[in-house]
């Protein structure tokens, strides 16, 4: 753990995982059944993950940011037979989960009234390797931008434990990860990248450093303290780090770094350029999704030659289609589909699964983008974020990427809000840098700044100021909360 230095050896992790896997078997769980975890970032996160993997089970890490009813929905929907919580995450969620049909057995990593402590429960089981099991798999849930989140269920490999790890192979071949690598994981473990990439590093024998919570200066301190060689980020984290005073950024020795990977959202060109200028050409980017229908990749050199790209394909073949399913030429925005990607299904939702595929078997998650003549992919936004103002489609990502470069802006969300004439109008919700006060003059300055770069239809007609925007700990902006709020105000 980055902050405390608390650690777990490979021997300790293996013993814990074997005992937990044996307990799952003793409880009667069969290959392909399900367990769930609701835990803050802590030392045991990789260990309980490996325990389910050893036992050939599906496992879901539930966001600690969810309300009790939302968490209970996921635990119920994934049909978890066991749920593991902690003293921090138990609280009111226990009543909600106990109230669902077929509630799971619940254990806690810490003493919690009415729950058995997991260490006590697994202490009765041997730590020797489990024989004859098949590989388990994560089952992540979509973010639920519209409607309830859906479980993305990959097919089990059906291979004996230890047979394969696609992510480990990618990390070894593409980034040189091995026994001497030190990987920094600054995001919540319940997200895809921390969960998968942390497991990949462990598969390859490296060291994983987990931050309890992302902090910009704390991340730089961890790189120096632990000699971090590899790390993974989201664009918001880059923006936060760049926002530190220069004397703070210059305080830390970052020379151990070999690879810094980012993903999860399009990165503003100015932000990424500044990071490459600072850290050098060690920054890599990939684009994928929870459904893993495809993946693109770019290194710093290719990105500098194609600013704004998320790369060329590593997995699947990208196609850009219009609303009628016709393929679009290079340079034209449309829905991003992948052919020959990973097959998946949405758990308990055949209709949503069918909607993700077209008649050719290509799949999409609703991202909008285009390809250039050389096959590099550029993302515009999510279809679900599109604003329709006066009959014109506006994708707010471009506006956000430009506005965030203004020195007064710390964070920004651009959304569509109800308008009696246009249907929707473009509105920016802004969090200002520390020490800067909102004013009418600043509103006009920001509008003028936007119009310097973008057409007027893409620029906000209204700008509101907030003390803070709703973001997940990994930096993901929860636009739906803002949109719902403004829709209620308009009623």
Structural domain spans, the chain: 10-164, 386-490
Q: What is the mean pLDDT of residues 24-36?
A: 96
User: Does residue 142 register a pLDDT over 80?
Assistant: no
pLDDT at position 341 is 81
Q: What is the mean pLDDT of residues 124-152?
A: 83
User: Does residue 279 register a pLDDT over 80?
Assistant: yes
Burial class, 395, CB count within 10 angstroms (exposed 0-12 / middle 13-18 / buried 19+): buried
Residue with tokens 């814990």: 16
Report which of 217, 257, 190, 177 is spatially closest to residue 3, judged by C-alpha positions.
217
- For residues 49 and 421, the model is more confident at 49
Is the Cβ–Cβ distance between 234 and 214 less than 8 Å?
Answer: no
Fold exhibited by the domain 10-164:
Rossmann fold (3.40.50)
User: Does residue 74 register a pLDDT over 50?
Assistant: yes
- For residues 169 and 146, the model is more confident at 169
From the candidate CATH numbers 3.30.70.580, 3.30.300.30, 3.30.479.30, 3.40.50.1400, the one assigned to the domain spanning 386-490 = 3.30.300.30
Q: Which two tokens stand for residue 446?
A: 């920001």
Percent over 70 (pLDDT), the chain? 99
Q: Name the band, by pLDDT with cuts 50, 70 and 90, for residue 143.
A: low
pLDDT tens across 257-272, in order? 999 999 877 788 989 9
Average pLDDT, the chain: 92
Residues 6+ apart with CB under 8 A from 15: 127
Residues 6+ apart with CB under 8 A from 265: 234, 235, 236, 475, 476
- Judged by phi (left if over 0) then psi (alpha if -120 to 50, else beta), residue 149 lies in beta
3-state secondary structure of 284: strand
pLDDT at position 147 is 60
From residue 382, alpha-carbon distances to 41, 145, 335, 469 in Å are: 29, 10, 9, 19
User: Does residue 198 register a pLDDT over 80?
Assistant: yes
User: Does residue 45 register a pLDDT over 70?
Assistant: yes
pLDDT at position 247 is 97
pLDDT at position 121 is 98
pLDDT at position 145 is 44
pTM of the model as a whole: 0.86
């Amino acid at each position: 753990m980055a902050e405390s230095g608390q650690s777990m050896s490979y021997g300790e992790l293996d013993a814990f995982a074997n005992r937990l896997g044996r307990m799952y078997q003793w409880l009667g769980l069969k290959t392909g059944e399900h367990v769930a975890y609701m835990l803050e970032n802590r030392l045991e996160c990789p260990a309980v993950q490996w325990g389910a993997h050893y036992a050939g089970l599906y496992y879901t890490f539930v966001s600690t940011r969810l309300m009790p009813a939302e968490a209970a929905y996921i635990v119920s929907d994934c049909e978890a037979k066991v749920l593991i919580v902690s003293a921090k995450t138990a609280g009111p969620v226990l009543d909600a989960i106990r109230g669902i049909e077929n509630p799971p057995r619940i254990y806690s990593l810490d003493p919690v009234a009415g729950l058995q402590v997991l260490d006590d429960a697994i202490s009765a089981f041997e730590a020797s390797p489990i024989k004859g099991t098949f590989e388990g798999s994560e089952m992540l849930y979509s973010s639920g931008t519209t409607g309830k989140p859906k479980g993305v269920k990959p097919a089990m490999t059906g291979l004996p434990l230890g047979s394969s790890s696609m992510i480990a192979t990618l990390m070894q071949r593409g980034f040189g990860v091995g026994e001497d690598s030190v990987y920094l994981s600054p995001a919540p473990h319940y997200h895809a990248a921390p969960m998968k990439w942390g497991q990949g590093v462990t598969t390859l024998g490296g060291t994983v450093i987990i931050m309890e919570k992302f902090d910009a200066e704390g991340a730089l301190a961890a790189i120096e303290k632990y000699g971090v060689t590899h790390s993974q980020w989201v664009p918001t984290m880059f923006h936060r780090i760049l926002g530190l005073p220069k004397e703070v950024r210059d305080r830390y020795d970052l020379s151990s770094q070999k690879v810094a990977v980012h993903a999860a959202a399009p990165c503003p060109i100015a932000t990424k350029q500044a990071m490459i200028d600072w850290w050098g050409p060690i920054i890599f980017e990939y684009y994928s999704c929870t459904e893993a229908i495809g993946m693109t990749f770019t290194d710093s050199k290719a990105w500098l030659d194609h600013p704004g790209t998320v790369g060329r394909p590593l997995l699947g073949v990208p196609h850009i289609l219009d609303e009628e399913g016709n393929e679009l030429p290079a340079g034209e925005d449309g829905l991003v589909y992948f052919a020959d990607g990973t097959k998946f299904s949405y758990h308990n939702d055949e209709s949503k699964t069918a909607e993700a595929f077209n008649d050719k078997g290509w799949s999409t998650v609703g991202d909008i983008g285009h390809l250039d003549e050389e096959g590099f992919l550029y993302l515009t936004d999510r279809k679900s974020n599109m604003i329709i103002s006066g009959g014109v489609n506006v994708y707010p990502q471009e506006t956000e990427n430009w506005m965030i470069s203004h020195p007064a802006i710390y964070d920004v969300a651009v959304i569509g809000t109800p308008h009696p004439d246009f249907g929707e109008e473009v509105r920016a919700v802004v969090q200002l840098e520390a020490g800067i006060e909102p004013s009418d003059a600043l509103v006009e300055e920001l509008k003028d700044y936007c119009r310097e770069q973008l057409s007027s239809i893409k620029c906000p007609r209204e700008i509101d100021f907030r003390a803070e925007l709703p973001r997940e700990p990994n930096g993901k902006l929860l636009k739906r909360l803002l949109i719902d709020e403004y829709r209620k105000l308009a009623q």
